[in-house]
Amino acid sequence: MVDSLSLKKPVVTPPAPARGSGPVVNRSRREALAAYAFLIPWFVGLFLITVGPIVASFYLSFTNYSLLEEAEWVGLDNYVKLFTEDPRFWASLKVTAIYVVVSVPLQLGFALALALLLDRGLRGLSFYRSVYYLPSLLGGSVAIAILWRKIFGADGLVNAVLGLFGVEGTSYVNNPDTALSTLILLHVWTFGAPMVIFLAGLRQIPSSYYEAAAIDGAGAVQQFRSITLPLLTPIIFFNLVLEIIKSFQSFTQSFIVSNGTGGPNDSTLFYTLYLYLKGFKHYEMGYASAMAWVLVVIIAGLTGINFLASKYWVFYGDSK
């Protein structure tokens, strides 16, 4: 990606620009100066609120810093404590892992299925697309999380509907066995965003492929398996990587549905929620930093594995 950016040398290098500048050297220096000037805000941001904090966070993860007291070097203590003495850390890891492993494939499955249904000149396509896409925009908001809490509450919508069939339900958000499922459902509900990306990917597949396959007598199923699916694997891969990274960092839903506790019984304690509680409720900022780095390693590791595994299933066509 970086390579493709390096701009091709200008087709024609104007030797004497009308600006009246002298030699070419001068011009390229002016260009560099202008570029760096335009990048000043970004540079300030890069060092002040990205690179600087990354370094600081790494350092803090080896201290017991707490905002109120000076940082004291504690070596690997935070990490050791995380892995050996903190059951809530493991609980949050487990909850998040289940959330990601269950909800991402489900979400992408729905996204792909609907994209396939909507593809190829269906009447009303843009209407359906909008309807299915809307929840993706709203899904991360506090308002929807509140709604969810109520839908799956003791006297919520789900139980009201079940009541019509004579089934009596309990509160799903207050039951440790079902609370996480409601959050998974909320994530699946936002399948519209990857669906739109799938739709864009489907449009890239030349219809001549299908025509040729039809002439050769391939049915719909075979066309899907031999044309659509292989050509769509790069998009599936892209969505998979993105959704895993994103869903590992989910916060709002877990916070609102459990009212900031991660309960019941830590069954909705997302990793980021626990990090928030540690860092900004108990002010154990060194500890929270260590947690952040564990998260980075997990996400980077998963993404790395994803890329390695992609060699075996992602099909990049004939890259001309």
- Taking CB under 8 A as the criterion, the residue among 7, 25, 221, 308 binding other proteins is 7
Q: By CB under 8 A, how many residues form the interface with other proteins?
A: 112
Instruction: Please state the closest distance from residue 285 (CB atom) to other proteins, in A.
Output: 5
Instruction: Please state the closest distance from residue 152 (CB atom) to other proteins, in A.
Output: 10
- Our measurement of the distance from residue 100's CA atom to the centroid of its chain's CA atoms, rounded to an integer in Å, reads 10
Q: Are 232 and 111 in contact (CB under 8 A)?
A: no
Instruction: Please state the closest distance from residue 57 (CB atom) to other proteins, in A.
Output: 5
Q: Which stretch binds other proteins (CB under 8 A): 88-96, 97-105, 269-277, 307-315?
A: 269-277
Looking at the Cβ atoms of 156 and 262, the one nearer to other proteins is 156
Task: Say whether 73 sits in a helix, a strand or coil.
Answer: strand
Helix (H) or strand (E) holding 290: helix 285-313
Q: Are 182 and 173 in contact (CB under 8 A)?
A: yes
Backbone angles phi, psi at 63, to 5 degrees: -125, 175
- HEC string for 39-98: CHHHHHHHHHHHHHHHHHHHHHCCECCCCCCCCCECCCHHHHHHHHHCHHHHHHHHHHHH
- Taking CB under 8 A as the criterion, the residue among 74, 179, 196, 314 binding other proteins is 196
Positions in 62-91 near other proteins (CB under 8 A): 67
- Taking CB under 8 A as the criterion, the residue among 93, 111, 151, 240 binding other proteins is 151
- Taking CB under 8 A as the criterion, the residue among 180, 231, 256, 269 binding other proteins is 256
Q: Which two tokens stand for residue 163?
A: 């009541």
Looking at the Cβ atoms of 54 and 97, the one nearer to other proteins is 54
Bridge partners of 73, per DSSP, are 63
- Report the phi/psi class of residue 78: left, alpha or beta, with left for phi > 0 and alpha for psi in -120 to 50: alpha
Residue with tokens 């050509």: 231
Contacts of residue 32, defined as CB under 8 A and 6 or more positions apart, other chains included, come to none
CA dist 294 and 298 (Å) reads 6
Instruction: Please state the closest distance from residue 26 (CB atom) to other proteins, in A.
Output: 14
Bridge partners of 63, per DSSP, are 73
CA dist 288 and 279 (Å) reads 5
Looking at the Cβ atoms of 43 and 90, the one nearer to other proteins is 43
Positions in 115-144 near other proteins (CB under 8 A): 117-118, 120-124, 128-138, 140-144
- Taking CB under 8 A as the criterion, the residue among 70, 75, 164, 166 binding other proteins is 164
Instruction: Please state the closest distance from residue 110 (CB atom) to other proteins, in A.
Output: 9
Positions in 13-52 near other proteins (CB under 8 A): 14, 17-19, 28, 30-32, 34-36, 38-39, 41-42, 44-46, 48-50, 52
Interface characters, 169-188, with other proteins (x: CB under 8 A): --------------------
Instruction: Please state the closest distance from residue 178 (CB atom) to other proteins, in A.
Output: 17
Longest CA span, the chain: 87
Instruction: Please state the closest distance from residue 193 (CB atom) to other proteins, in A.
Output: 4
Say whether residue 165 binds other proteins (CB under 8 A): no
What are the CA-CA distances from residue 132 to residues 44, 128, 202, 252 (Å)?
39, 6, 17, 21
Contacts of residue 187, defined as CB under 8 A and 6 or more positions apart, other chains included, come to 99, 103, 104, 107, 139, 247, 250, 253
- Taking CB under 8 A as the criterion, the residue among 205, 227, 229, 242 binding other proteins is 242
Q: Which stretch binds other proteins (CB under 8 A): 81-89, 92-100, 203-211, 309-317?
A: 203-211
